Structure 1
Amino acid sequence: MLRVLLVQTAQGLNPSSGGFKANANVLRSLAAHGYETAQICYGHEQEIELHVKKAEDKGINPDLAESSMVAVDLRGIVHELFVKCFTDEYKEDTRVYLERNELSQRMQSLVKLFSDHITEFQPTHVVFNDPITMKLTATHPQRATFKRINIIHTAEQLPFGPFAAGVDGHCMSPAVEDALLRDLDGIWSVSKAIQKYALTYGQLETTFLIHPIATYLDKDASGMAVLPPVRNNIDKIEVGMVNPCAQKGLSILIGLARNLPHIKFVVWKSWGSRRDHLAQLEDIPNIQIEPTTKDTNEIWDRIKLLIAPSLWYEAWGIVVTEAQLRGIPVVASNAGGLPEAKMHIPYIIPVNAVTGEREANGDYVIPDQNIAPWVETVNKIMTDRDEYRALQEQTVTKSAEWLRAQDPRGHEKWFLSMMDAK
């Protein structure tokens, strides 16, 4: 019998992170087949109250656990906190814990909280994508009773290669994290691109599994995954993009909008969209900026075409797969795992991807791009109805074939195989 405990690291119970969404669907798919699941996650206080009410309205007992913990503020004053949520650990505290096994008061409280939940839940598997959980589970008193699995959602998460620590907060102690990775029971790469990266730069063997298929589907009122309706958006007038930011291809978006003033663009903010990124878009008259949305149907009901001009080493690109399964054509770059997420359906445009070189502030250096093929392709799809119909038909047919070929119980089988291995 599987008992799977997941540790989430994204901020909030409903973040715009695709990795968070995919992680949660691992638990949902296992729970749907009768297994016990639980997760530790960082929630904002108001979210917790809303989450409890939502569960109770459905007749579900949310079984909210409340406890206390000791925390020390920046002035050294000790506080006893009533815990329903708590703030993230300091980066330096994390580095010291990883490298010297020394615990600040704050880190000690966090490690104890996580460890106590593992002891209480008695999992068969602990799943995570952060170094703190990877370290504390290595020496947990019940270590022999559970398997340790790390999900690799980004190349920046890995402690080797050109993109190591390329995102703030990722990979704070490469040597320690490298050793910890090689002592795990399983490492899950979410794309063949990430699997190849790990093998090429770290000689690290990992297991490739796509995200649970529920990640890409709609949910009915009971929370069950259902096939999404296919949109016929040929008469819509907007090109959409999610998470406009430098590494996601902001420069290509701006080039498209300026070269195609007769076409309307709409973007939805997400985790990477900084103030300086949005400022570059605000004065472009044919770009509309929308807030982050929890309901992606708002996107699919509105746009005619999605662009994903990413310039960094994408792990997958969940939004791309979601769009195509709903009959929304996608024009994407060839960065990282995006061709996999697109199921190799046209159009995939080569880009000058980031190399790992950094600016003084730590951001990736963004190479110049050839905008011409993007302008030609987007203009043709948006103005040629025959082209759009043909591309939409191919998108609907190929994505449905792809979905039918997936194993909805692949993760379950992988977890069970670990228990069989001696």
Structure 2
Amino acid sequence: MRILLAQNMFHLPTHGGANKSNRILMEQLAARGHECHVVAPLSGALRPTSLDRHLSYLEGLGARVHSVTGESVTYEYRGVVAHAVVNPSRLAREVGAVAGTLDPSWTLVPSDDPGLIMLGAASRATPGRVVYLAHTLQQLPFGPGAFYPSAAGTRLVKAAAGVVAVSRAARDHLLKQGPIESELIYPQVYGAPLTGRDPDDEGAVTMVNPCAYKGLPLFLALADARPDTPFLAVPTWGATGADLDALHSRPNIRLVEPADDIDAILAMTKILVMPSLWDETFGYTAVEAMLRGIPVLASDVGGLSEAKLGVPYLLPVRRITAYEAGAHARPVPVVPVQDARPWLEALDRLLSDPAHRRELGGRSREAAKSFVASLDEGAFERYLSELTPAPAAPAADRPRAKALTPERRAALAALLAVHAAPPPTTAPEQGDHSS
């Protein structure tokens, strides 16, 4: 098969769940002999970088750069050919160009797609051969928590040849809110567990992607309540300037850069906290930590409850239910006041009782190993091989400016304007648009 992934988030680096699972999925398909291509933005406001620095970053990873123009960089990494677009406003055009040359059997489009840019481009370029990947529930064009609801976008999702849910939470949400039937395929994104260190001997209380969506107020409350405990924060796509200021102001919180290899973070972690306040689709980082015997404190929301695999602790939060317009086309959550007491009690028990921490770490490791062993790396390949192309969506259903709501048009215009600005000369830092 010839497979094109058209995504409105970075191919490399991969510091978020959605783009990491997409990258690994394509590498797995390439290793099975399929011709795999990716169209993605090279950089943007969420991860500013110069072209030269990004090329150095790619070469440092071992990627083979094939061509560099003023509009795109084409490179190969682990058997997958990536077409990274310098100016994201040209993403749709690049999808059409690559699809015209490749003639893909299937075009995969993740839900993390502000403005329906990739879904619309893929539907035009490969009608009837679009497979929709439901990663981030808030980025779906329907449902009570949708950032940018769109009737036209919903029709395009329904017209896709197939829809894949990465968790039970996503599958149930699609069926209830669409209603849309989907295939549940858990991505196999988990590497070999970290060895050589018992996580209860050293390390910090760690949070990845500390931001309002993910429960930063609870993380700060824990750090404030236990000033002698070391905390570690790994900012990725969600952290605002105000969030970073709040983190820097706590002397017991150390900030570190995200890493493509999660072991670089987990090697410094004693306990992982995931106090998310929105409906998570899953929680890859929870499983990755548990595989390494690291206890995880997680909020009892959406797919994060699923990712804990029945192991304590799932803790209560007051969920985000409202958003306000944001400056960079990303809604700003209205965060309810949180009760940190259950979180502090759980953290104190793990910190003060090494035997309990070891027992929980062992249970976490066994549950995660069992879950990963149940995953089938060939499931997605079989799904595509058995899939039948869908009738092409009517032209009237294809997303155009007049089909978008005023809010979505404003968000898309703001997003493209931010992305089109010349990037500052800084090293690659942030991850993707996803959770």
Q: Same fold (TM over 0.5)?
A: yes
**From 177, 182, 186, the counterpart of 1:206:** 182
Matched AA of 2:190: Y
Following TM superposition, by how much is the alpha carbon of 1:49 offset from its aligned partner in structure 2, in angstroms? 2.5
**From 293, 312, 319, the counterpart of 1:346:** 312
**From 139, 143, 147, the counterpart of 2:127:** 143
Matched, 1:197 2:159: no
Following TM superposition, by how much is the alpha carbon of 1:360 offset from its aligned partner in structure 2, in angstroms? 6.0
Distance 1:8 1:48, change over 3 A: farther
Q: Is residue 313–residue 335 contact of structure 1 (8 Å, CA) maintained in 2?
A: yes
SS in 2 for 1:6: strand
Q: Is residue 308–residue 330 contact of structure 1 (8 Å, CA) maintained in 2?
A: yes
Matched AA of 1:295: D
Q: Is residue 13–residue 41 contact of structure 1 (8 Å, CA) maintained in 2?
A: no
Distance 1:121 1:330, change over 3 A: same
SS in 2 for 1:4: strand
2:422 maps to what in 1?
A: none
1:267 maps to what in 2?
A: 233
2:289 maps to what in 1?
A: 323
Matched, 1:41 2:40: yes
Q: Is residue 234–residue 385 contact of structure 1 (8 Å, CA) maintained in 2?
A: yes
CA distance in 2, matches of 1:159, 1:183: 13
Q: Is residue 67–residue 84 contact of structure 1 (8 Å, CA) maintained in 2?
A: no
Following TM superposition, by how much is the alpha carbon of 1:136 offset from its aligned partner in structure 2, in angstroms? 2.6
Q: Which range moves more in the overlay, 150-159 or 285-294?
A: 285-294
2:106 maps to what in 1?
A: 125
SS in 1 for 2:258: coil
Q: Is residue 19–residue 153 contact of structure 1 (8 Å, CA) maintained in 2?
A: yes
The residue correspondences of 1:156-195 to structure 2 (distance < 5 A) are: 156-165=138-147, 171=148, 174-195=150-171
Cα RMSD of the aligned pairs, angstroms, is: 2.5
Matched AA of 2:127: R
Q: Is residue 42–residue 85 contact of structure 1 (8 Å, CA) maintained in 2?
A: yes
CA distance in 2, matches of 1:69, 1:401: 45
**From 66, 81, 88, the counterpart of 1:64:** 66
Matched AA of 2:12: L
Q: Is residue 13–residue 47 contact of structure 1 (8 Å, CA) maintained in 2?
A: no
Gaps spanning 5+ residues in structure 2: where?
44-50, 73-82, 392-435
1:114 maps to what in 2?
A: 95
Following TM superposition, by how much is the alpha carbon of 1:295 offset from its aligned partner in structure 2, in angstroms? 3.2
**From 250, 259, 278, the counterpart of 2:244:** 278
Q: Is residue 156–residue 163 contact of structure 1 (8 Å, CA) maintained in 2?
A: yes
CA distance in 1, matches of 2:324, 2:237: 20
Of all paired residues, the percent bearing the same amino acid is 28
Following TM superposition, by how much is the alpha carbon of 1:143 offset from its aligned partner in structure 2, in angstroms? 3.4
Q: Is residue 276–residue 299 contact of structure 2 (8 Å, CA) maintained in 1?
A: yes
Provide the TM-score with structure 2 as the length reference.
0.78
Q: Is residue 91–residue 117 contact of structure 2 (8 Å, CA) maintained in 1?
A: no
Following TM superposition, by how much is the alpha carbon of 1:237 offset from its aligned partner in structure 2, in angstroms? 4.4
CA distance in 2, matches of 1:259, 1:69: 50
Aligned length: 366
1:76 maps to what in 2?
A: none
1:358 maps to what in 2?
A: 323
Q: Is residue 354–residue 365 contact of structure 1 (8 Å, CA) maintained in 2?
A: yes
Matched, 1:216 2:200: no
Task: Considering Cα pairs closer than 8 Å and 6+ residues apart, tell me whether 1 or 2 has the greater RCO.
Answer: 2
